[in-house]
Amino acid sequence: MNLKRIRVMFRARNMEFFRDRAAFGWNFLFPFLIVAGFAVIFGGDTRSEYKVGVFPHPTVQVDLEEIAVPEAFKETRYLDFIGFPSMEAGLTKLRDHKIDFLIQLDSPENAYWVSEGPKGYVVEQLFNAALAPEEYRGLGLRGEIEGRPVRYIDWLFPGILAMNMMFSALWGVGFVIVRYRKNGVLKRLKATPLTAVEYLTAQMFSRIFVLMFTLAVMWFGCELFFGFQVRGSRVWIFLAYFLGGLCLTSLGMIVAARGISEEFASGVINFIGLPMMFLSEVWFSLEGAPRWVHRIAEVFPLTHVLRAVRRVMNEGAGLAGITPELTILAVLTLGFLMIGAFLFSWNE
């Protein structure tokens, strides 16, 4: 293996990427816009989880002191009260699941309507509990845990960066090498002293450099603007991302090993990337999902990357706490590299 040839190919691929200003800028802008959007929507600590409509009410904004609703219900946190002028207006929103609960203010019987679903059920139980005599409330023994609550945006942020890393690795290696093969670039490289191992090594190092550079800028930029909570060491976070980037890049090499059709490569990348994005807990937790869903998720590298990063970020785990996930990523990386090197062809 000739290090000089690897360095030349590494530099050439990096120059190609950085000269493409549209692709370079989008690698930063896309994840930042997603994080910024979710920070605005879900970043607050006092956002309402449940929508409660009341009628008849002249305005959408509701002054809780002026409406005849049980005091215990009005004092419940995370309820957002919305006024409607008539029953028909409120029921329309309830049917469309834009609100979870609807109360008639001028009803002596405390008439209400509820949407079918978990949120409607929860609000109904809260409303009925508020109607019960005060002596029957608060009979349980409440315990409290210490620590700052984890916002949804704190939980989501590592997933957004990992998702951006995943698509950048798959498209930046898998799609690009297939395009080179289709355009005849690989055929010309084959005529040089460059070997397949040297070429793939340079591609992998180039992509990892771009991934980690982009990740570092995005991480510290978003942390500066949005104030994310990081309980553990950032060193272990970046180690998990680094191994995850290696693993995803080596997976992209399998996609790039054969084929000259960019359309087929695009389909394969989406076939791999979309299930990984939805089942690796980028957007939501799989807690409570069927066991077979968890088994499928364990196959994906992104699952182990996010599990390691979130343990460090939200739980303060050290290196020992994420060693199992790092080991899995290392094993998957070696396996993908061996398969990609074995299948790689300059021409077909």
Per-residue model confidence (pLDDT) at position 196? 78
Can you tell me the distance from the alpha carbon of 23 to that of 29, in angstroms, rounded to the nearest whole number?
10
d(CA 264, CA 219): 33
**Mean pLDDT, the chain, as a whole number?**
82
328 pLDDT exceeds 80? yes
Where are the chain's structural domains? 3-43+149-343, 50-135
pLDDT at 156 over 60: yes
Task: Indicate if the pLDDT at residue 142 is higher than 60.
Answer: no
> CA angle, 311 as apex, 309 and 313 as ends, to 5°?
65
3-state secondary structure of 137: coil
Residues in CB range of 173: below 8 A, 6 or more apart: 203, 204, 207, 249, 252, 253, 255, 256
27 Rama class: left (phi>0) / alpha (psi -120 to 50) / beta: alpha
- On the question of pLDDT at 123 being above 80, the answer is yes
Q: Nearest 5 degrees, angle CA 172-CA 191-CA 338?
A: 50
- The DSSP code sequence of 169-218 is HIIIIIIHHHHHHHHTHHHHHHTSS--HHHHHHHHHHHHHHHHHHHHHHH
Residue type, 157: F
How many H-runs (helices) and E-runs (strands) does the chain carry? Answer: 14, 4
From residue 34, alpha-carbon distances to 4, 165, 234, 306, 336 in Å are: 40, 14, 22, 17, 30
Lowest mean pLDDT among 108-117, 136-145, 177-186, 314-323: 136-145
Lowest-confidence region among 60-74, 100-114, 136-150, 314-328: 136-150
Angle at 123 between CA 119 and CA 129, to 5 degrees: 150
Q: Where are the alpha helices (DSSP H) in 280-318?
A: 291-297, 301-315
pLDDT level of residue 186 (50, 70, 90 thresholds) = confident
Q: Model-level pTM?
A: 0.71
Is the predicted pLDDT of residue 140 greater than 70, yes or no?
no
Which class would CATH give 50-135? alpha beta
